[in-house]
């Protein structure tokens, strides 16, 4: 009896400990790491998402690698990262910015991925369609389809655009008369003959936004260049004439086309169309899951924290300098950030819904931006009135852009 009693005393603690030990082993087995490559301007929001996820589960470890904003350090860093990625040692999650120009910051000239379209084609990113089909966000949300199309290759979704920017016509007066057609060419003709100083001021500023004049410039799936150099050149000359003839009196005109200037009292909040009539948005912040990621579904779910409404802590989305692509976060940006009225909110949402074209800027758009800016400063056509020279300059810029696009689509 004593032996049996002893055996029971010994075995009971052992048996009781077995399930506990098994749980610990199971927890260890389920614990995983997600690595993220990102920009400094997104880091604070990513840390909020990481902390939120840590409260929901102790099984995930989020490791963040942030790219430097120092030009020389960043260049070396990017070279090493590209070598590492090409060797199959990429990151699980990419939360990057495609900014290239606009405020002279060093990161604008050195995005990690020079051409997101080619990155999708290369197999760097994993397709997300299977996870999106199971995610009711995409059934319930009025997320603009133009953004999704930008992140597709061969009808598969590889990139989720998170923020964007675009040029807005902001005016406290309504249209006196609508332009004959809703495109950039007709808007300019209307500005030339009307007293609409807000529209005139928008064009004085918009001359520096040449990447937005003609989009989409390339269809990567069909490997076709859609950019029309003749139409682009004609608009360049017309725009330069307008700029030259109005530059002196434009000091009294509002030239602000930024979304950060949206305010109450505006009668017009419209994204400025391009030459073909597309309402154009340039993608800035975006997210993707690396093909080498072993926990793709979990990585996708982390990305979605910057779009869905799982936590109000991330009402600004990924943050940074762009506008959220999610329509609810887009509206909250104006409601909570700028505290605008309900009427103004409705106008901003209508502008969002009117967007029908989005694109990733590439090296060719950077070239166009720089070339037009140099032409404005060096041409001095408001002094010389040498429009033959202006026409020649426009033709040269357009021809070079055409060749660059053709090379880019073939690479």
Q: pLDDT for 174-207, tens place per residue?
A: 998 889 889 999 999 999 999 999 999 999 988 8
Does residue 150 sit in the same domain as residue 176?
no
pLDDT value of position 41: 92
Please report whether residue 104 resides in a domain: yes
pLDDT greater than 50 at residue 81: yes
How many Cβ atoms sit within 10 Å of the Cβ of residue 268? 18
Please report whether residue 238 resides in a domain: yes
Domain boundary among the residues 296, 322, 337 is at 337
The pLDDT tens digits of the residues spanning 207-234 come to 888 999 999 999 998 999 999 999 999 9
Does residue 186 sit in the same domain as residue 98?
no
| Percentage of the chain modeled with pLDDT above 90 | 76
Q: Please state the rounded mean pLDDT for residues 231-258.
A: 91
CATH number of the structural domain spanning residue 58: 3.40.190.10
Domain tally for the chain? 2
Q: Are 76 and 110 in contact (CB under 8 A)?
A: no
Does residue 213 sit in the same domain as residue 288?
no
Q: Please state the rounded mean pLDDT for residues 131-150.
A: 97
Does residue 141 sit in the same domain as residue 216?
no
Query: Which two three-digit tokens encode residue 213?
Result: 């004049």
Identify which of 265, 243, 291, 278 has the alpha carbon closest to the alpha carbon of residue 94. Answer: 291
Burial track 33-47 (b if 16+ CB lie within 10 A, e otherwise): ebbbbbbebbbebbe
Grade residue 71 by pLDDT with cuts at 50, 70 and 90. Answer: confident
pLDDT greater than 80 at residue 305: yes
Please report whether residue 14 resides in a domain: no
Does residue 157 sit in the same domain as residue 60?
yes
| Euclidean distance between CA atoms 185 and 191, whole angstroms | 10
Please report whether residue 239 resides in a domain: yes
pLDDT value of position 87: 86
Please report whether residue 8 resides in a domain: no
Please report whether residue 350 resides in a domain: no
pLDDT greater than 50 at residue 35: yes
Q: Please state the rounded mean pLDDT for residues 137-161.
A: 97
Q: Could you tell me the residue range of the domain that residue 293 belongs to?
A: 32-165+281-337
Does residue 113 sit in the same domain as residue 201?
no
Does residue 51 sit in the same domain as residue 153?
yes
Does residue 321 sit in the same domain as residue 309?
yes
Please report whether residue 355 resides in a domain: no
Q: Are 171 and 199 in contact (CB under 8 A)?
A: yes
pLDDT value of position 2: 44
| Euclidean distance between CA atoms 116 and 37, whole angstroms | 15
Does residue 159 sit in the same domain as residue 180?
no
pLDDT value of position 10: 41
Does residue 275 sit in the same domain as residue 220?
yes
Does residue 214 sit in the same domain as residue 119?
no
Grade residue 57 by pLDDT with cuts at 50, 70 and 90. Answer: confident
The pLDDT tens digits of the residues spanning 87-128 come to 888 999 999 999 765 444 444 568 899 999 999 999 999 999
| Of the candidate ranges 83-87, 100-104, 406-410, the one whose mean pLDDT is the lowest | 100-104
Q: Are 315 and 306 in contact (CB under 8 A)?
A: no
Does residue 52 sit in the same domain as residue 127?
yes
Please report whether residue 179 resides in a domain: yes
H-helix or E-strand spanning residue 112: none
pLDDT greater than 70 at residue 13: no
């Amino acid at each position: 009896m004593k032996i049996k009693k002893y055996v029971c005393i010994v075995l009971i603690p052992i048996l009781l400990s077995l399930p506990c030990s098994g749980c610990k082993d199971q927890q260890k087995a389920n614990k995983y790491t997600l690595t993220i490559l990102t920009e400094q301007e997104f880091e604070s929001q990513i840390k909020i998402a990481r902390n939120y996820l840590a409260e929901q589960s102790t099984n995930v470890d989020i490791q963040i690698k942030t790219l430097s904003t120092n030009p020389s350090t960043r260049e070396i860093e990017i070279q090493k990262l590209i070598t590492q990625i090409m060797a199959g040692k990429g990151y699980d999650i990419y939360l990057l910015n495609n900014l290239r120009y606009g405020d002279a910051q060093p990161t604008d000239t050195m995005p990690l991925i020079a051409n997101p379209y080619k990155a999708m084609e290369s197999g760097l990113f994993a397709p997300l369609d299977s996870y999106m089909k199971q995610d009711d966000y995409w059934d319930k949300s009025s997320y603009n389809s133009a953004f999704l199309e930008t992140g597709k290759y061969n009808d598969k979704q590889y990139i989720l655009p998170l923020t964007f920017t675009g040029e807005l016509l902001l005016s406290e007066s309504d249209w006196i008369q609508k332009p004959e057609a809703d495109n950039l060419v007709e808007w300019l003709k209307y500005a030339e003959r009307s007293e609409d100083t807000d529209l005139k001021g928008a064009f004085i500023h918009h001359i520096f936004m040449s990447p937005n004049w003609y989009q989409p410039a390339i269809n990567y799936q069909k490997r076709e260049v859609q950019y029309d150099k003749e139409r682009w050149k004609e608009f360049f000359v017309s725009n330069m004439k307008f700029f030259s003839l109005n530059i002196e009196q434009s000091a009294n005109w509002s030239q602000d086309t930024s979304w950060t200037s949206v305010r109450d009292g505006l009668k017009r909040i419209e994204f400025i169309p391009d030459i073909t009539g597309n309402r154009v948005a340039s993608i800035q912040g975006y997210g993707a899951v690396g093909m080498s990621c072993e926990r793709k579904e979990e990585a996708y779910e982390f990305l979605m924290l910057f779009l869905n409404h799982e936590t109000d802590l991330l009402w600004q989305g990924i943050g940074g300098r762009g506008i959220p692509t999610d329509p609810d976060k887009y509206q909250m940006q104006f409601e909570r950030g700028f505290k605008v009225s309900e009427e103004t909110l409705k106008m901003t949402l209508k502008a969002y819904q009117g967007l029908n074209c989005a694109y990733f800027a590439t090296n060719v758009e950077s070239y166009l931006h720089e070339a037009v800016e140099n032409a404005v400063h060096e041409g001095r056509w408001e002094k010389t009135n040498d429009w033959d020279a202006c026409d020649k300059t426009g033709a040269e810029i357009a021809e070079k852009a055409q060749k660059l696009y053709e090379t880019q689509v073939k690479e």
